[in-house]
Structures are given as structure tokens and as C-alpha cells.
Amino acid sequence: MTKLRLPPGVRAIDRLMKANKNFSIERMDERALERAQTTVIPDAGLGAILAGLVIGRARAGVTIATSSFPAEHGEVPLRVYTPDASGGPRPVVVNFHGGGFALGSSRQGDWICSTVAADLDAVVVSVDYRLAPTHRFPAAVEDCYDALVWTAAHADELGGDPERIGLMGDSAGGNLAAVVAIMARDEGGPRVLHQSLIYPATDLTEGLREHESYLANTRGIVLSNADLEIFRAFYLTEDDDPSDWRLSPLHSKDLSGLPPAVVVVAGLDPLHDAGVRYAEALVAAGVHARVEDFHVMPHGFLGFPYFSRGAKPAMAAIVASQREALAR
């Protein structure tokens, strides 16, 4: 068998992640986890410049503003991306960041969200939902659904069109986007016209361990199988049923009537098969879904746009799919 040769950028990502234990939940102790959850990526200065070299800089021509909305438990922070050019009302995309339900923030998605804002000419609202293990399931689900409801109700104020709303999320955020789409359908919530699911975690059951992509994940680039198990243990309690569709949308008994989806997957990702299977399940339920498969990319590759040669074509595919569903 020919050994797969990793692209130079992927090798660089691998070395970067493995050189710093704070990039892996598997190697974090309690203090390191708390530090990771409370550290804020700066918006200006040298720290912002250095961060931008790794996670990408926001696109020019997009204004970024911080805001929040009132939930029952308190304020939920938001990061809002608006094109500078005059126009509107624009489509609105509600975004949920990745990080295994325990890490990450909307700030890490500046490149992704500003690219959608600029290229789709849309308002993007990114949600800083509560993180596990302090806030376990269903806290993140509640925050993300409430954010969708709030955004739809205030779309006009944001310069958006409440009749043209899409969802987007990567990794754990992809799970949340898929779940929120189902909730909106079932609870008579805002009408969602599109879902962009980026290497989504659609299966939190033990069945994930039988997926070929999980079994083949020997390199553990960006996301190891041990990381997955820890994230799962942080998010779920012993009383939770992992097959509950709010945890594992792949196991929903009814996926009909959901908005069209683009599902981006990465060939070197343990979650690859979970994403493909969810797209297949959507199609089987009569929902239009398209898979964009980047065979030599790892999990999280869109978070490293200057290292990942698949990042720009993946974003182009996402925006093209969003445009088809959300443009007038």
C-alpha cells in the first residue's frame, strides 16, 4: 500500500498542534482547560496579528461588531459581520463555532464568517454559546436555538432579511446547526432556508467508533480519537441518551422537510463518515444535500486557511450553496 503523503501545510498544522499541549483537550488538565476557555483572542495589536497568521484574518470590507442577546440564564455574546458596501436587506447566516462543545469562540471564525459576509453579501451572526463541562447538554442547544429566534426577530435591525436565514457551523457547531434546523422545523420556529455543515459531529453514540474513518484515524491530526472521547464525556451526563437526535442528529427518526444542506468533510478526519452518512440520510429523507469531500485535509482545516489548500475551495463551495438557497 502506498503511504499517503501529506500536503506541506497539513504537515505544518500537525507539527503545530502536537508541539503545544494546549491545542489538545487530551493533554489539558483542569487549569489548562479553564485557561483555554477564558483566554480571549485579541482584536488588535501584536496578538491579533500573530493569531491572524494561524487562524486567518478577517476579510477586508466587512465590519465586525460585538453584541449580545438576553437569554433566561443571562446575556449570550454575539459577533456580527456586516459588509461595508451599501445594500440590503441581506441574507442572514447564524453561525456556531467548533471546539468539541468545550473549547472555542466566535472570534476563531473571523475568516470563515467574514468570507461568507463578503462573498455572499450577507449578515453573519456568530454565537458564543455556553461551554461544557460547566454547562453540559442541552445548554449549547438552547443558546443556539434562542440565538436563531432572536436573530430572526431582529434581522431588520441588523440589515438582514428575516425571510432569508441560513445556519452554519463547524465540528461541534455543525452538530448544533443540524440540531437547530430540526428544532426550527418541529417547534414552528424561524424558517431556515439552508444549512452549511462543516465536518459536523452528527453521531455521539458508540456507533461512531465503528466508522471506518474513526478506525483509520491513526495520525490524529488536529483531532484524535481520545480527544473525541473527552469532548463527549464533557458534554454528556450519564443520564443522557447519546441517540437523542439533539445529541446525534444522524439518529433522528425524521429528517424530512429540512432545508437543503452542503456538508463539507475531510478525508483525514475521524468524523468524515459521520458527515457523509448524515448527508446520505438527508437525501434519503427527500432533502437536497451535497457533499464536498477534501480527501487530504484534516478536521478543522478551514480554521487554518493559510496552511490548508482546501480552505478557499471549501469556502467557495459553501458560499455557492448558500447563494443558491438564500439569494433573491
Residues forming the active site:
171, 269, 299
- Spatial distance between the Cα atoms of 210 and 194, rounded to a whole number of angstroms: 30
- Spatial distance between the Cα atoms of 328 and 324, rounded to a whole number of angstroms: 9
The contacts of residue 290 (CB under 8 Å, 6+ apart) are 261, 262, 263, 279, 317, 321
The cell for 295 is 480527501
In contact, 103 and 300? CB cutoff 8 Å: no
82-87 contacts, C-beta under 8 A, 24 or more apart: 82/117, 82/123, 82/158, 82/159, 83/117, 83/118, 83/121, 83/122, 83/123, 85/61, 85/121, 87/121
**How many alpha carbons lie under 13 Å from residue 146 in its C-beta half-sphere?**
20
The contacts of residue 182 (CB under 8 Å, 6+ apart) are 245, 249, 252, 255, 258
